[in-house]
Structure 1
Amino acid sequence: MLRFVTRQAATRKLLAATAVGALGLSLAACGGDDKAPAFVAAGGKQGAATPQPTAPPVPFEFSVTPADKKKDLPVSTEIGTNVKGGSITSVKLVDKAGKAVGGAMRDDNTSWVPGAPLKYDTDYTATVVATSTGGQAETKKISFSTRGKSGNDVGSGLYLFNGKTYGVAMPVVVEFTPGIAEKDRAAVEKRLFVKTDPPQPGVWSWVSTGTQAYYRAPDYWRPGTTITVRAALEGIPLSNGRVGDQDRKASAKIGDKFEMKVDNKTKKMQVLKNDKLVKTFPVSLGKPSTPSSSGTLIVMDKQEHTVFDTFAELGPEEGYRTDIDFAQRLTWGGEFIHSAPWSVADQGVRNVSHGCVNLAPDNASWLFGQTKVGDPITIKGTERKAEPGNGWTAWNQTWAQFVKGSALPVPANLRPATTSAAATPTPTATD
């Protein structure tokens, strides 16, 4: 392992644009049987049916936000809806030129979200129609205007390239510079939309610094899944006076299941494809003074040829510069899988690296040709545990641990049964 690449430099290589999540409108209805059976009255005589009590109908109430003629609103403004005794029939938003703005309702029907950021310094008119359970329609119309563009942005990035294919452990990763304060995370999280096809519901979880948020499901994505993401952050106001810099969208595919498992005890790597063992390679891990990280890590980046340069970090006496082939990044701190012809005699026998997973050149070349960004590697038995946030560590937690990082309430169907590690089937490395 060579800790020479700054996080900022690595981030620039990995940043990508991102993809709109669909928001559905749900409708609900209820009914009952109006026939009651005959009954036998006290004393044994048959009497007439007793009418069953029914709940009175919910009064039809309907309101929208923002308030009419509201000014200086952010371009992330949504059309809020509150309906009792009925449902939203339609929402139409137009700008001052009469051009319609596309959008969709949130799944919980609390608001209508524009499909793209609104324009700065622009007047808008929203027309919202709701219909009661009895068929009564009501229309509300509001106008509002947006504020000008702020120069005090929070930088953001989405680690997902549109149209690319990723491994089954690829989390959706959104990064923020500077990090998002804890009190602002719920508002930001509400503007992060993910859709998977076939559906595999998941949860967002924040690293403690607020610099990254990960989205994943309880288990690895199914091969063939399409993930569509929208980080709808442009103009969203934060408590420190900053605003989100831009909307990011992407749609990507999940490829075959490909996993690597490394055991420090045997100093071997097992390679599995679609749960079948296909290769076993000897490895050399980090020596005791610079151990490799135990845990479930993810291939973050791949470079067929690169240079490891540690002079800036270690200085002229301990630093070095080395050409490296078949490098696959696992952590921000500089742990990689890579070819190491100088340690072939040690591979399978002893650990001599600076924290990287060393492979023989032919083995490293073969593995490089098979892996995808997003493929998981589980390392166990080393002197150090993987540090949260040092790499994409979304899978180095049980599901019960992961959901604790959400800034919003976790849906009932995604809450773990218990808080123990046994409550999730997620594979987690042990030391």
Structure 2
Amino acid sequence: MDVRRRLTLLAVTIAATPLILGGCTADRKDATGSASGRAPDPAVTVTPADRAKDVPVSAEVGTSVSHGKVTGVKLTDDKGKQVAGEPREDGSSWVPSTPLENGRTYTAEVTATGKKGRTAVGRTTFTTSPKSTRQAIKSTLYFTGNQTYGTAMPVTVAFDPPIPKEARATVQRRLFVKTDPPQPGTWSWVGDGKQVEYRAPDFWKPGTKISVRSGLAGLPIGKEFIGDDDRRSTSKIGRQVALEIDNATKQMSVLQDGKLVRKIPVSMGKPSTPTSSGKMVIMEKHDFTTFDTRGSADPYVVDVEDAQRLTWGGEFIHAAPWSEGDQGHINVSHGCTNVSVTAADWLMGITKVGDLVTIKGTEVQLDQGNGFTAWNVSWDEFAKGSALPVPPGLKPAPTLSPGHPGAVAGGSSPAPAPSASGG
């Protein structure tokens, strides 16, 4: 009995020993297949696909990385020349600084670095398409370089023909805005795609530098069109000036940094040709111009001085010596805001393109898109017009200063084509 018991104990000991040893020596792997305690190596996926052909000249180098981050991108052409560029803020791709050339071969090399300095390199070689025979959509960037704009100046791009709804996200992704100091915003499409505008939740801070790139050259837009050009501009924001015009009093209040500096009598559009009520932005300024409405129901040709455009449809603030007796009392214009010669000259000296103009109490409301109308709706409504997700952290605008009254609603969008009319 004692012998059998000793044999049994010995068998248990021998059988248990391999299990104990096995527990000390086996490789336990995590869900990624890496040995326990060791970080997985980085992995890189690069686009366009290797050996891809007919790649648009608007192409970006897609950089998808797991277990690491991109630490270097090198793009060279078939002559060995390196292409300049920079990554998107979200790290999804690397964007060449200029359009690629048609019918050329490029090689992209993307380096990713993981924990403990481990690296991985992804490579791809692709060839761009020949020059496209598609019709180019004409784009116009209304943000000129080396200027000083008012604090309400939106970045505006207009298109002819309009951008179809299904292509707006593609176009918007190629519109870039950088601000220094940072003041993030979003793009918003107006009406049927003839215009897209960019602004932040609140007005630009004075002194802000804004750099814009409309990188549309060669971009496929739907099945029929391509983008026309690649444009850049950088300008700054000046001091804050706002004009408030009240039809009830026939007075214009001029405010600087929220403080009233002058009141000016005005005469606006008569009932048959009323001035629009809404929040507008000064679009352009002319020391001298001619209003020519021949072909309209009320044709006339008149030369005017010190004219400041507010709408595509032809509403201006301008000198009107013929109506000085009416200013402050009765509306007699064809839709413009008439002021005296002296007041118009003074206004030209204090205002800038991009200054906010608020008109209230007239018979009609401003159509959304009839001018730079980014402030004519609330921030929430504006952000709904983006074809891409709005950047996180952007919230509705705070309560505005007395110089910036609340937004009013807008309607449909006319074509963003300047009219020479006025009155």
Partner of 2:75: 93
Q: Does 2:188 match 1:205?
A: yes
The structure 1 residue matched to 2:354, chosen from 374, 379, 403, is 374
Give distance in 2, aligned partners of 1:369 and 1:157. Answer: 27
The structure 2 residue matched to 1:302, chosen from 272, 275, 285, is 285
The structure 1 residue matched to 2:111, chosen from 129, 149, 153, is 129
> For each residue in 1:67-102, what CA deviation from the matched residue of structure 2 results, as whole angstroms up to 9, or x when unmatched?
111011000111101112110110000000100000
Q: Does 2:118 match 1:144?
A: no
> For each residue in 1:35-68, what CA deviation from the matched residue of structure 2 results, as whole angstroms up to 9, or x when unmatched?
xxxxxxxxxxxxxxxxxxx999667432111111
TM-score with structure 1 setting the length:
0.83
Q: Does 2:253 match 1:273?
A: no
Give distance in 1, aligned partners of 2:78 and 2:379. Answer: 47
CA separation of 1:407/1:430 partners in 2, compared to 1, >3 Å: closer, same or farther?
Answer: closer
Conserved in 1, the CA contact under 8 Å of 2:375 and 2:407?
Answer: no
* Counterpart amino acid of residue 60 in structure 2: E
Partner of 1:36: none
Greater relative contact order (Cα 8 A, min sep 6): structure 1 or 2?
1
Q: State which drifts further: 181-190 or 133-142.
A: 133-142
Name stretches of at least 5 consecutive residues in structure 2 with no aligned partner. 1-35, 410-423
State the secondary structure of the residue aligned to 1:101. coil
Partner of 2:274: 291
Give distance in 2, aligned partners of 1:182 and 1:373. Answer: 30
Give distance in 1, aligned partners of 2:55 and 2:223. Answer: 17
Conserved in 2, the CA contact under 8 Å of 1:81 and 1:112?
Answer: yes
Conserved in 2, the CA contact under 8 Å of 1:78 and 1:113?
Answer: yes
TM-score with structure 2 setting the length:
0.84
The structure 2 residue matched to 1:227, chosen from 210, 220, 223, is 210
Give distance in 1, aligned partners of 2:38 and 2:339. Answer: 72
Give distance in 2, aligned partners of 1:148 and 1:303. Answer: 43
State the secondary structure of the residue aligned to 1:188. helix
Within-5 A mapping of 1:29-428:
60-151=42-133, 152-314=135-297, 318-416=298-396, 425=400, 427-428=405-406
State the secondary structure of the residue aligned to 1:308. strand
* Counterpart amino acid of residue 114 in structure 1: P
State the secondary structure of the residue aligned to 1:395. coil
Give distance in 2, aligned partners of 1:430 and 1:406. Answer: 19
Give distance in 1, aligned partners of 2:208 and 2:389. Answer: 26
Give distance in 2, aligned partners of 1:265 and 1:248. Answer: 44
Name stretches of at least 5 consecutive residues in structure 1 with no aligned partner. 1-53, 417-421
Give the Å deviation of 1:381: 1.0
Give the Å deviation of 1:430: 5.1
Conserved in 2, the CA contact under 8 Å of 1:379 and 1:429?
Answer: no
Instruction: Give the paired residue count.
Output: 370
Conserved in 2, the CA contact under 8 Å of 1:58 and 1:84?
Answer: no
Partner of 2:20: none
Conserved in 2, the CA contact under 8 Å of 1:286 and 1:292?
Answer: yes
Q: Which has the larger radius of gyration?
A: 2
CA RMSD, 1 decimal: 1.8
